[in-house]
Structure 1
């Protein structure tokens, strides 16, 4: 026999095989399980608690499917950790979820995570963009239609709500839905029944609704653009997706996740950046969020004469309108967030941001950020200068 034991507790995944040409005597021969435990202990010694904690976010995403991993981008910033905690909190309930965030910030990825981390993970995940279809087509797409209900409908259509039975339906850009369709959606949320266009009977569906939008729907209720009763029905559970400019310290992890796909699409690689290129990326406010970052990296990868990418390869569009933000304020929030994640340790904070310790000290001094370690360094510097004066 050839017993095989697969071990996935630590990456990379290893398979331990022990060949047995005769039955093993458990009294005088180590079993395959003992060999596995021994190898596990050896592997464990290679990982310090600190390194395991640093990689916890990436290991956590291993519970998702490949599609989810490609969309829900990793991070270690405080706002990202808060987002993950919120998703875990709401994933197990049955209530509708309203996901709000700027365009390109990853709202669909959050919706997929809500589905994958909840009890409906074995059910279907169906998504529809409410802004991409006219009112008539969207109604038939969502609720279904019977044959002959409208011109061109030559067969019965079940509709996305019935297709998502037992799973989750994402209504992307729900703020673009017409008031009439909002009324039908409200009825479904109240009683869980669907009546196809042109149909005479209602069908019951068990679907969790996740609605996503970049608009302020609460404000839209005041103008009549969005129904107030639907707002109160959807807004029981809300998830705010932070824009990229609030999680700049996550840039290295995000770029690392995007790199394989970009290399395959552009036919070049590996995607690597110099320190100057990283600094240029971290100084931008990213009004287009992840979508803009992906485009900037793809353009740089295609146009660069040589790799790794330098600062001249990174071409950024200037921010316009409301996206002109306080760069110093963003930098201060980034540094404070990194300090919090690193428990105030200057060396680990500099590593997370991608700076040297000297540059981090300079920027902290310029922004008036003080920690116990930086105050001790300032005191030692002052003491040294005073001592040299009296010598």
Structure 2
């Protein structure tokens, strides 16, 4: 179902457009002014707007829409005899113009063509990005389409972006998309995991160091900021940065300058920063655990990646893509997931989100000999699949003692991870283990 944004200050015209949209199987979204239309633009596939409106006319609205998304078709309604206005609209980038009062058949045909054009533009854009990334992008659910549309609008603008989402949702893919669709796509894409490096070494890793700056620094080393010069630097788990280093990161963003550890000089860098985190940094800032000024500097644009439970309809397509990818990687020919198996995967709970699903499919493919895999493949793996609603445990004798213990431990971790909203530090605290030990278990059970 396509979403149509209908804009007119005349209630009768708006009603007629809304009924026409519904009769053709589309979802209408209405607005009585240009300003209201811009507030309701998210997720629409085409726009129909009147030309003659107070405060913001149709051409001004058209220009504002195309500043946000140049691929969105806009149909402009004009009064009879307003050929000059119609020409101006077409020159400004309108998809088509229709005179009022409009003919129902003509409007239906124009809308059908506009929606087909939109679909082709979106598909071409996706193919271009997939070519740049070297991988397919799966995400046809409305929640993912809104996110991908937002990425396409933001990527060409050289602004700092904060990507937020639960563990395993695909934040790294969104960061890659932002780089691939940016003007820096030909430059380097450099990643730095803020949680993987001890605090005392993180500054030297980020900004580099001079020879002899500390014990073991036998030669000068270029930091990640310098490596990303002219391209994009992705800071994974930015919420884990210690407060003193946050101040230095803020300076690097504000001034475009870095100072390697132990060096008496500053270096200019031209870097677009994309930060990713599973934490709510606004809440972290209010609690004093994250610098508020750095949060605002990072979140010029904030993108939220939905958890898998909010776009379950993508699970079959994701599973098929993972099976294709791992079949090629593992040399397993013609591996297919049967409809019953896809139904089981779609019904299962995935607290580890897309990454957990990916690891589960990798396990299925690795243990198969190719051909079509049925639901029984879930019980054949070395690790149990994600728990389905109402399924507590495998029958006795189906698993070895070690597998039973792994299943119990995995279930406890999954429940605790879900209860903390994916917060690894809090999950580790509740389970009474170190964060490092938890991360090892998350990797073991396919959560990370």
Shorter-chain TM-score bucket reads 0.5 to 0.7
Structure 2 contact 210–221 (Cα < 8 Å) conserved: yes
Give the one of 365, 386, 403 matched to 1:317.
Answer: 386
d(CA) in 1 for partners of 2:230, 2:330: 39
d(CA) in 2 for partners of 1:173, 1:144: 20
Report the counterpart of residue 442 of structure 2 in structure 1.
none
The structure, 1 or 2, with the larger RCO (C-alpha pairs under 8 Å, 6+ apart) is 1
d(CA) in 2 for partners of 1:52, 1:89: 18
Runs of 4+ in 1 over 4 A off after TM superposition: 48-59
Report the counterpart of residue 61 of structure 1 in structure 2.
126
- Match of 1:261, SS state, is helix
d(CA) in 2 for partners of 1:212, 1:244: 17
Report the counterpart of residue 93 of structure 1 in structure 2.
157
Report the counterpart of residue 377 of structure 1 in structure 2.
none
Structure 2 contact 335–370 (Cα < 8 Å) conserved: no
Report the counterpart of residue 273 of structure 2 in structure 1.
209
Change (3 A) 1:253 1:170: same
Report the counterpart of residue 354 of structure 2 in structure 1.
290
Change (3 A) 1:251 1:55: farther
- Match of 2:376, SS state, is helix
Change (3 A) 1:306 1:122: closer
1:67-78 to 2 correspondences below 5 Å: 68-70=133-135, 73-78=137-142
Cα distance, 1:58 vs. partner?
Answer: 5.5
Report the counterpart of residue 28 of structure 1 in structure 2.
none
d(CA) in 1 for partners of 2:323, 2:123: 15
Structure 2, gaps ≥5 residues long: 1-112, 379-383, 388-413, 420-448
Structure 2 contact 230–271 (Cα < 8 Å) conserved: yes
Report the counterpart of residue 10 of structure 2 in structure 1.
none
1:220-231 to 2 correspondences below 5 Å: 220-231=284-295
1:95-134 to 2 correspondences below 5 Å: 95-134=159-198
| 1:211-254 deviations in Å (ceiling 9; x for gaps) | 00011111112332211111111122101111122122222332
d(CA) in 1 for partners of 2:263, 2:273: 23
Change (3 A) 1:288 1:275: same
Report the counterpart of residue 11 of structure 1 in structure 2.
none
Change (3 A) 1:66 1:92: closer
Change (3 A) 1:269 1:320: farther
Cα distance, 1:317 vs. partner?
Answer: 3.0
d(CA) in 1 for partners of 2:237, 2:170: 13
Structure 1, gaps ≥5 residues long: 1-47, 325-391
Change (3 A) 1:77 1:214: same
Moved more, 301-310 or 286-295: 301-310
Report the counterpart of residue 254 of structure 2 in structure 1.
190
| 1:97-138 deviations in Å (ceiling 9; x for gaps) | 100011111111111111111111121111111111112322
Tell me, yes or no, if structure 1 residue 173 matches structure 2 residue 200.
Answer: no
d(CA) in 2 for partners of 1:116, 1:91: 8
Change (3 A) 1:162 1:302: closer
Change (3 A) 1:199 1:306: closer
| 1:305-361 deviations in Å (ceiling 9; x for gaps) | 77311112124233524638xxxxxxxxxxxxxxxxxxxxxxxxxxxxxxxxxxxxx
- Match of 1:320, SS state, is helix
- Match of 1:272, SS state, is strand
Cα distance, 1:158 vs. partner?
Answer: 2.0
| 1:127-185 deviations in Å (ceiling 9; x for gaps) | 11111111232211110111100111112212111111111100001011111110100
d(CA) in 1 for partners of 2:254, 2:370: 59
Tell me, yes or no, if structure 1 residue 308 matches structure 2 residue 357.
Answer: no
The TM-score, its normalising length taken from structure 2, stands at 0.57
Structure 1 contact 61–69 (Cα < 8 Å) conserved: no
d(CA) in 1 for partners of 2:139, 2:288: 38
Report the counterpart of residue 239 of structure 1 in structure 2.
303
d(CA) in 2 for partners of 1:150, 1:126: 24
The TM-score, its normalising length taken from structure 1, stands at 0.65
- Match of 1:157, SS state, is coil
Report the counterpart of residue 320 of structure 2 in structure 1.
256
Structure 2 contact 332–369 (Cα < 8 Å) conserved: no
- Match of 2:276, SS state, is strand
Report the counterpart of residue 212 of structure 2 in structure 1.
148
d(CA) in 2 for partners of 1:184, 1:145: 14
Q: How many residues align?
A: 276
Structure 2 contact 323–365 (Cα < 8 Å) conserved: no
Change (3 A) 1:80 1:69: farther
Would you tell me which structure has more strand in proportion to its own residues?
Answer: 2
